[in-house]
Amino acid sequence: MSTRIKSFSDRLTRTIIIIFLVIMTITSILAFVVITTGVYSSFKEHFVDEIGNISRNITANLEKVEISAVNIADEVKWHIKTPELIISTLEYEIDVNRNLTGCGIAFVPDYFPSQGRWFEAYAQIVDDKPRVHNIGSATHDYHESEWFKAGLASKGGLWTSPYLDKEGAGTLLCTYTLPITDPEGKLAGVFGADISLEWLASVLHDIDVSENKIGLKPSVMPEDQGIYSFILGPKGEYIAHPDLERYLGGYNFSDFAGPGTSDNYLELGEAMCAGKTGEEIVVMDGRRYEVFYAPVSDSGWSMAIAVPIRSLLRPALTLGCLILILMLLGLFIVSRICRRAIKMFTKPLVQLSGSASEIAQGKFDTVLPEIKNEDEIRHLRDSFDNMQKSLSKYIADLTETTAQKASMESELDVARNIQMSMLPMTWPAYPDRKDIDIWGSITPAKAVGGDLYDFCIRDNKLFFCIGDVSGKGVPASLVMAVISSMFRTLSASEDGPDKLISVINSSMSDRNENMMFVTFFAGELDLETGDLKYCNAGHNSPAVIKNGVPNYLETDANIPVGVVADWKYSLQKTVLSPGDVLFLYTDGLTEAARADGSLFGEDRVISNLAGYKATSSSRELSENMKVAVDEFVGDAEQSDDITMLIIKKLPKPVPCSA
């Protein structure tokens, strides 16, 4: 089945488009930054102007209330001696000043003996008619109210903080208070002109900012709050806010500091309370805002507009998307032009590719196309012509080489058989012994490899080793044969794995001109007591299974054999109890790799050993591990020798009772 050939012209077109895309992207980013900065600055200037306009608008509305309050207070002053005239005056004034929620005068104690200690005449519109009644009483002792005390002490008018007037208007109010004196200049009481916070919210609600209604709505803030405004009193108390609870509950701006706000949140509140004008980027209510603020005339209040940062950036993002669309359109046009032009220029390459395919199928007499232009394509055509002439000679040489390779592979098969014959391959290894179960396996990555394992029993002690020669192939196999022979010779008379490895290391280091080394692990197991002496020369730490739980054996960091002739190798000891298993392996096991490059790893070795059953034999353990590796790597090619040696200390047989 023929394979579809990828088009060179398409690849070249894609390359040009990518280059153009990079250039356009850089240009777009620069344009985006300039546009975003310009739009952002323009919007900031707009909101700086807008906060001033809003502040002046609110000031104008408050001034109307203040002027009305001063006029009413002057009128009341002339009737200060007659309660009935005061009541009729208040009825008239509340009827003609419908912008007031209510108004009233609270007299000092016993000012009118006939009215009792408390006399607070309060006027409001009820059913579209003015109504005045005395709301002062023992249960409503206004003499102790902060607004009354502050009004008496003031030399002019002042605005109170929001409060709930239960006896009068029955709603949330802010009151403009003035001290009242009689014609002789004696302090008689306090006059108050009330505005409801709902009225103040409606004033803000009618102000447009950037085509958004930014008023304070008489409801809780929605989850996706956009642009909104709020007003703070001189002590940071909320005068108005979209969240009614903030001024209904008498909350202060500082009450909402902490989680969901930035470090400069309180600094913003302090600046507003100080009557400053400015702007600040701050995180509040869990969102990032640009806050523009300015004082509201002489009221002591401060007005702020909170604009989400995303609202400032949205126009810039819109322009960025437009630029992106234009860039994609430009790329499409350029790709179409490039594709047609490149196909025309690469047509000779297509013809030459067809001729090359014919030559690849063995048709060495295929006629190559004529190329008229003196360029690289013409040079390529001449190269193919030279290739045709040399292929025949190459085929003849290849035939001879193939025969030589077949002979070499036959010799490698013989070498592999010789190498394998040097390792213990008779299983079970000691069929007459009931105290030990041994199994070993080796899977070379090439015809011959550099892994080795060996064991023997002397004086009721099991001497064993496992090793991995650096490199692969024939050189590694020769070193493996030498090391294996030395171990077999030394273990017949030498005690102590550290001494055995030291002798091998000294011998190999003296004749190691090719700088090859061996990671090596040797052990001596007393089959009677289970005492295990071992020495590790840079090899992978074996795993030991005790009571069904696998863990890696603790090993010292000795260097591999063949590196330093006089290295002092350390001896370590442990005990294998009946039923314990010692699992030795080479790094070909842990470094077995999938096609994507991920390794089998030490954790998978432990996880597979964790499934070991006490009744399983060493052979079953080895075969289960090999199945796990094969399933992990799949069809990936084996890159290194995989060797395993399993030693299981068998429990002593229970003698039969007579």
pLDDT digits (tens, 9 = 90+) for 524-540: 999 999 999 999 999 99
Q: 560 and 489, same structural domain?
A: yes
Q: What is the pLDDT of residues 209-253, one digit of tens each?
A: 433 433 333 333 444 457 788 888 888 888 888 777 777 677 888
For residues 46, 47, 48, 50, the Cα torsion angle rounded to the nearest 10 degrees is 90
- Type of residue found at 39: V
What residues make up the domain containing 226? 1-345
Q: Are strands 187-196 and 120-126 parallel, antiparallel or unpaired?
A: unpaired
**355 plus 330 within the same structural domain:** no
321 assigned to some structural domain: yes
Q: Is the pLDDT of residue 377 over 80?
A: no
* Higher pLDDT pick, 438 / 244: 438
Same domain? 10 vs 123? yes
What is the side-by-side order of every strand in the sheet holding 642-649?
436-443, 642-649, 581-585, 543-546, 549-552
Contacts made by residues 616-620, CB under 8 angstroms, sequence distance 24+ = 617/437, 617/439, 617/648, 618/437, 618/438, 618/439, 618/581, 618/646, 618/647, 618/648, 619/427, 619/439, 619/646
Residues 268 and 297 both lie in one domain: yes
Spatial distance between the Cα atoms of 438 and 215, rounded to a whole number of angstroms: 86
Q: In angstroms, rounded to a whole number, what is the distance separating the alpha carbons of residues 464 and 487?
A: 9
Per-residue model confidence (pLDDT) at position 534: 97
- The answer to whether 533 touches 497, Cβ cutoff 8 Å, is yes
- In this prediction, residue 63 carries a pLDDT of 80
Judgement on whether residues 397 and 458 belong to the same structural domain of the protein: no
Looking at residues 53-57, what average pLDDT do you find?
74
Q: Please report the DSSP string for 131-188 in residue order.
A: EEEE---SSS-GGG-HHHHHHHH-SS-EEPPPEEETTTTSEEEEEEEEEEE-TT--EE
What pLDDT was estimated at residue 208? 40
What is the pLDDT at residue 6?
61
Whether 363 and 449 map to the same domain: the answer is no
Distance CA 273, CA 259 (A): 22
pLDDT for 5 equals 56
- What's the pLDDT at 404? 64
Using one digit for the tens of pLDDT, what is the confidence trace for 85-102? 888 888 888 888 877 888
| pTM attached to this predicted model | 0.42
Query: Is the CB of residue 93 less than 8 Å from the CB of residue 74?
Result: no
Among 317, 345, 373, give the residue marking a domain's end. 345
Query: What pLDDT score does 647 carry?
Result: 95
Q: Is 412 within the bounds of a domain?
A: no
Per-residue pLDDT for 511 more than 80?
no
- Is residue 337 predicted with pLDDT exceeding 70? yes
Phi first, then psi, for residue 388 (nearest 5°) are: -60, -40
Count of structural domains, the chain: 3
Residue 418 lies in a domain: no
Q: What is the CATH number of the domain that holds 195?
A: 3.30.450.20
pLDDT at 351: 67
Q: For position 145, what pLDDT does the model report?
A: 83
Q: What is the DSSP string of 495-532?
A: --HHHHHHHHHHHHHHT-TT---EEEEEEEEETTT-EE
Considering 372, 406, 440, which residue would you say is the last residue of a domain?
406
Q: Tell me how far CA of residue 421 lies from CA of 382, 412, 414, 482, in angstroms.
A: 56, 14, 11, 14
416 assigned to some structural domain: no
414 falls within a domain: no
pLDDT of residue 480: 85
Does 446 lie in the same domain as 334? no
Q: Over pLDDT 90: what percentage of the chain?
A: 22
Where does residue 656 fall: left (phi above 0), alpha (psi -120 to 50 degrees), or beta otherwise? beta
Question: Same structural domain for residues 119 and 174?
Answer: yes
Which residue among 378, 406, 434 closes a domain? Answer: 406
Could you tell me if 513 and 524 are in contact, meaning their C-beta atoms sit under 8 angstroms apart? no
Q: Are residues 183 and 318 in the same domain?
A: yes
Give SS3 for 46.
helix
Of 101-105, 549-553, 630-634, the poorest mean pLDDT is in: 101-105
Encoding tokens for residue 413?
């098969």
User: Is 656 a member of any domain?
Assistant: no
Task: Give pLDDT, residue 453.
Answer: 93
Looking at the structure, do residues 270 and 377 belong to the same domain, yes or no?
Answer: no
Please compute Rg for the chain using Cα positions: 49
- The answer to whether residue 331 sits within a structural domain is yes
Q: Does the pLDDT of residue 176 top 60, yes or no?
A: yes
pLDDT band at 48 (very low <50, low <70, confident <90, very high): confident
Same domain, yes or no, for 284 and 373?
Answer: no
560 within domain boundaries:
yes
Dihedrals phi, psi of 530, to nearest 5 degrees: 85, 5
Question: Are 254 and 171 in the same domain?
Answer: yes
